[in-house]
A and B are shown apart, each in its own frame.
Chain A
């Protein structure tokens, strides 16, 4: 558990942030320049803040009132930088073991073999970082941070410098990290797809301040954040795999409010929980039961809330059998259809709107089978 309360002058903006993270992945979301990277640099000790109280698992790391400042090399916080920062003069294996050497034996967890297996980097061990691809570098950087047996992992836009194919390559590893290794993660990003796929908690930062914080599905369903945080609203739901349709290459998911057909998921057992991100712009609204429609998913619900509207577009929140679904419409459509709070509607969701970025593994809450003190 990490508690952060920071006040720090950063050029023209005043960083003033408080949040608490209790395991899982906490996403620090915001535009560039919102102070996200500075905040994680303060947490790991690379920046000395003007005023702060930061504690990790009960140990105070920074308390400016009591003049406590634990130096960065004694915080045991793993940091995965945007650009990897592997040591060019060492082999991949030596890079991986760098932090391991500096960790007291009693505090180590996991070993090289486990981490190598988890990240699929066994074939790279004898190479030098200069010859690795961007995705491989980032996986090695993650392994190196893990082998230092950290109490917390910080990831500063770890996928930002990669192309989409490389992002898709790494995201599953990050999900495994989240679900199989019980090290809490603070994940800095301005990418909605990454955040909705990985985060368990979202902290939205605007101009150095925390504008919103809470569980991913709640923050994503808020209609008031879109205009000033670029956080495009959308529903983040947990669904269960109900069946696969091999002939059409589709998978049916069970949601609280009905069923959802999506493109065939690879190798997922029936009953497995998945996370679905339904982007507001992929949802159409009909006031009558639609007929002769190509879209495969029609959910019944009522309008629960209309978002603020000062332009041509606004977001709506629908209640579909207990699940919140968001829809983005033009103001003209809203007026033409006479939509208001309580109007019964049908939400139409195109199956082809789902892709690798909007479908991922659901967060698996810790259970007795997990090893928490020896997390890998």
Chain B
């Protein structure tokens, strides 16, 4: 196997870091929003639903541009975060993580939401008549039964984050070592003469990572599914 150049290794490492952070950071809010959308009855539910799923249907470039407007140095949220907490997204790898998280969020929420909808409310009622406080009902019944959906959603959003390109390049550009993720690097190599071998190597890595994620997802799903069993 041909060896990777340091530049390529950096791009792969950065992509993994960005995807990992994007996934980990969106898990808790994803769970909360999925819970709200699945179980909540409140005014503005459809609007929330729309906002969450918008990145799925918008051109990624539009999402990236909106992120730039909001989280850029002079954007309302970006300026506030930079002044108060010193957190900067623009043209940093953190911005790439944010863009990836936003793009993967609908997939995560949809998978979790479907798994919540599939949880039999009767089991939760049974748990509460057995003396379990609602928090315990959630932790001991609802959450374990949602687990396959959570795992599937997490892996989907991780894979999506690994492949995020349009929103990322619009929001944080294509700076080697800082925001040049795997797809950005492949794009760059295809634009320069003689870059094809490098683009090919990175493509192979992208395919391998994606395949690995799918296999792991399926294996975990199978194990968890067997543990949970099927109630006839």
Mark A residues whose CB is within 8 Å of B: 44-46, 71-79, 81, 83, 85-89, 98-99, 102-103, 128-131, 144-145, 148
Q: A81-B122, A83-B122, A102-B136 are in contact. Are A88 and B129 (CB under 8 A)?
A: no
CB distance from B170 to the nearest CB of A (A): 43
Listed from nearest, the 7 A-B pairs whose CB atoms lie closest are A99-B130, A102-B131, A130-B229, A85-B126, A79-B129, A88-B231, A89-B228
Do residues A89 and B122 form an inter-chain contact, with CB atoms below 8 A? no
Chain B residues with CB under 8 Å of A81's CB are 122, 126
Chain A residues with CB under 8 Å of B227's CB are 89
Residue from B125, B134, B136 whose CB has the most chain A CB atoms within 10 Å:
B125
Do residues A99 and B144 form an inter-chain contact, with CB atoms below 8 A? no
Do residues B122 and A73 form an inter-chain contact, with CB atoms below 8 A? no
User: How far, in angstroms, from A68 to B3 measured CA to CA in the complex?
Assistant: 73
Q: Which of B129, B144, B230 contacts A73 (CB 8 A)?
A: B129
Chain B residues with CB under 8 Å of A131's CB are 229
CB distance from B103 to the nearest CB of A (A): 32
Do residues A72 and B129 form an inter-chain contact, with CB atoms below 8 A? yes
CB distance from A51 to the nearest CB of B (A): 23
Do residues A89 and B129 form an inter-chain contact, with CB atoms below 8 A? no
Per the CB 8 Å criterion, the residue count for chain B at the interface is 25
User: How far, in angstroms, from A79 to B129 measured CA to CA in the complex?
Assistant: 7
Do residues A87 and B132 form an inter-chain contact, with CB atoms below 8 A? no
User: How far, in angstroms, from A40 to B231 measured CA to CA in the complex?
Assistant: 24
Mark B residues whose CB is within 8 Å of A: 120, 122-123, 125-134, 136-137, 140-141, 144-145, 227-232
Do residues A130 and B122 form an inter-chain contact, with CB atoms below 8 A? no
Q: Which of A102, A103, A128 contacts B229 (CB 8 A)?
A: A128
Do residues A103 and B126 form an inter-chain contact, with CB atoms below 8 A? no
Q: A102-B132, A130-B229 are in contact. Are A87 and B123 (CB under 8 A)?
A: yes
CB distance from A233 to the nearest CB of B (A): 35
CB distance from A304 to the nearest CB of B (A): 44
Q: A128-B229, A129-B229 are in contact. Are A89 and B130 (CB under 8 A)?
A: no
Q: Which residue of A lies closest to B126 (CB)?
A: A85
Chain A residues with CB under 8 Å of B131's CB are 73-74, 76, 99, 102-103, 148
User: How far, in angstroms, from A177 to B19 measured CA to CA in the complex?
Assistant: 57
Chain A residues with CB under 8 Å of B128's CB are 71-73
Contact residues of B: prevailing secondary structure: helix
Chain A residues with CB under 8 Å of B145's CB are 88-89
User: How far, in angstroms, from A128 to B122 measured CA to CA in the complex?
Assistant: 18
Chain A residues with CB under 8 Å of B137's CB are 73
Chain B residues with CB under 8 Å of A128's CB are 229
Q: Which of A77, A103, A129, A130 contacts B129 (CB 8 A)?
A: A77
User: How far, in angstroms, from A268 to B110 measured CA to CA in the complex?
Assistant: 61
Do residues A98 and B127 form an inter-chain contact, with CB atoms below 8 A? yes
User: How far, in angstroms, from A45 to B134 measured CA to CA in the complex?
Assistant: 13
Q: Which of A44, A73, A79, A99 contacts B134 (CB 8 A)?
A: A73
Chain A residues with CB under 8 Å of B134's CB are 73
23 contacts between A and B (CB under 8 A): A73-B132, A74-B131, A78-B130, A85-B122, A87-B127, A87-B141, A88-B123, A88-B145, A88-B231, A98-B127, A98-B132, A98-B140, A102-B130, A102-B131, A102-B132, A103-B131, A130-B230, A130-B231, A130-B232, A131-B229, A144-B130, A145-B129, A148-B131
Q: Which residue of A lies closest to B120 (CB)?
A: A85
CB distance from A93 to the nearest CB of B (A): 14
User: How far, in angstroms, from A98 to B128 measured CA to CA in the complex?
Assistant: 10
Chain A residues with CB under 8 Å of B229's CB are 88-89, 128-131
Q: Which residue of A lies closest to B122 (CB)?
A: A85
Do residues A98 and B231 form an inter-chain contact, with CB atoms below 8 A? no
Q: Which of B129, B132, B133 contacts A78 (CB 8 A)?
A: B129
CB distance from B130 to the nearest CB of A (A): 3
Q: A46-B125, A87-B141, A88-B145 are in contact. Are A148 and B130 (CB under 8 A)?
A: yes
Q: Which residue of A lies closest to B147 (CB)?
A: A89
Q: Which residue of A lies closest to B133 (CB)?
A: A73
User: How far, in angstroms, from A129 to B145 measured CA to CA in the complex?
Assistant: 14
User: How far, in angstroms, from A62 to B229 measured CA to CA in the complex?
Assistant: 38
Chain B residues with CB under 8 Å of A89's CB are 144-145, 227-229
Chain B residues with CB under 8 Å of A99's CB are 130-132
User: How far, in angstroms, from A198 to B78 measured CA to CA in the complex?
Assistant: 70
User: How far, in angstroms, from A77 to B136 measured CA to CA in the complex?
Assistant: 18
CB distance from B220 to the nearest CB of A (A): 15
Chain A residues with CB under 8 Å of B129's CB are 44-46, 72-73, 75, 77-79, 145, 148
Q: Which residue of A lies closest to B137 (CB)?
A: A73
CB distance from A52 to the nearest CB of B (A): 18
Q: Which residue of A lies closest to B231 (CB)?
A: A88
Chain B residues with CB under 8 Å of A144's CB are 130
Chain B residues with CB under 8 Å of A87's CB are 123, 126-127, 141
CB distance from A86 to the nearest CB of B (A): 7
Residue from B120, B131, B145, B230 whose CB has the most chain A CB atoms within 10 Å:
B131
Q: Which of A74, A76, A78, A88 contacts B228 (CB 8 A)?
A: A88
Q: Which of B130, B144, B230 contacts A145 (CB 8 A)?
A: B130
